[in-house]
Structure 1
């Protein structure tokens, strides 16, 4: 991961027009429906077709590159980076962007938060330590061991190399803590599950990092359970950053609640909203010439409140109440707001509507009897169906390496 870049100038006022002009030489958009919609004298975003994940998977990267641009030549000249998405919503997708794009779009999002913006302006080379699911990308990989020099890129240290944090032995956690102390990061960049488990180790050992100013959570949904642990142990603000490999970072926590967008990077819409105002997020990207996306179905539920946004979690992770009402990960997670002692959880809903809650305790061997009793009542009321619970020793991630807080058995409910 490159160091945080300087902030680029804002996108032009005619953001949609600019985005559409960027598709004129792109083979994917040479279809009758796209041509007809974009040919209107004043195209309206909501009148344009959408791009599904299946379409992106089938056509990226080649059909999204402008005509005359050859992938092999871009690779040979070192003009691009190529990544694969995590595959949270299915098979992974190949994503292409310029060498500087990732750092630039991340910087735009980070500077939207006043604390982070001030710190980065004072020191653009601010050090970070990353705790997330390792990917086999040459940086960190759970299939092979890399020394600390191999896991250091510029101002970034990639700390963990283990796919499931709950199986880490104490000596490995001690090594991770020692590396972090030596690195003296200004912030931790964490998958919330990995970050919370590491925080619990630090709490047991009485460890703090004096250089730490904030914690950035990303990669998957940040539960109130994870946030509570990170804030308690490290005593610094926990700030959530939302986005994806294919779109870049789109939203960041606002100090007064909700999330604020990064408008230079993308246009955002709420589509197919229900009577709660919750719908799926569509993204129109503005800055990646090698993967221009118009009204892309990113796969998440969101809600818009004025100029702020609330992320509700993956669409595939949504549940259904007995009355057929959509229940998002965010709505389920709200039941845990005042329930301490829990390191992680997963609520699995059967096809017929009942559900089972697995709780992973902060302290091994803890029965969490009071928490179970409270949560069974709350979740049963939310679902309108019976909920059972137990305490488990392990919760495993998906093949993507990400964890799911809520799971609907038997397929997607929508």
Structure 2
């Protein structure tokens, strides 16, 4: 995402202005984080490293993942600033603060991207490089060259590591990026020492955690207020019938919950497959009933969606019955996954939940799903924390 605002006096004045105009409530934890970001903003003014080529890295990541001599690397520019890793519970304003920092950052080359989308892009670039360079066996240096040429400041939203293929390349990739003078600012619900916790192969991932902790300041956002849950508790979540009014309501809900009008194309890695799931921003994903239930997806796909995103905005749930029972069965599985992980649902449908599947074979099976859909609209359910 490119900057949409010209450089100003930094994130702290921007934050204070929003509080003064009533757009934000005063929050001591957010104010403290804005002060830390302001200090980094000052350090980075005009930052534009131009590293020079040197010998290939001989660090522990190169040894760990088998980097080849002669693959090429870059020396870290002298005085490269530390980045920032902002960690806290969901809904505390981490993304909002990073947006203020990114929009005001006076850095010629900068980029803000959801971390999951960044890793998808990295895998795609590695695949393309291997196809263009048959026989070559180390795509990390050219990948790091390309990323560093695009941005010397990388701002990541929702830094999380769930996939073993991500874990296996992160160490060498970020060692190379930091060596090229790239500064990282990230938000996450997970402290660095807890990344990839409990996953097979985590011991090999620990050096990456050490690298992150050496290159960024970790700041815990201790705000007690979950602003995101407040927003969704004030929104209608089931709109029927499917028409222009309900479509506009879903547009407004996505923008209110994510802070963006459209988001970015999203996909999930499930059992070695890439599963497109619509458009997403800041933990909110928007897609259609047909995209989720008209394709041969299964419980693993819906589980991945329910755990990765805290809110699903779903367009166009039709009336269900024996004639489209395959879709109805997948919808039942989807709702079970959302419900079990307290994922929030905002949807447009042709009827109220208890009228979606009224008669015919398997109508009784749908009664539990209708009951869950009704409960998922309640203020009690909307106030529950997401279980990622």
Task: Choose between structure 1 and 2: higher helix proportion.
Answer: 2
- Structure-2-length-normalised TM-score: 0.29
Higher Rg: 2
- Which structure features the higher share of strand residues? 1
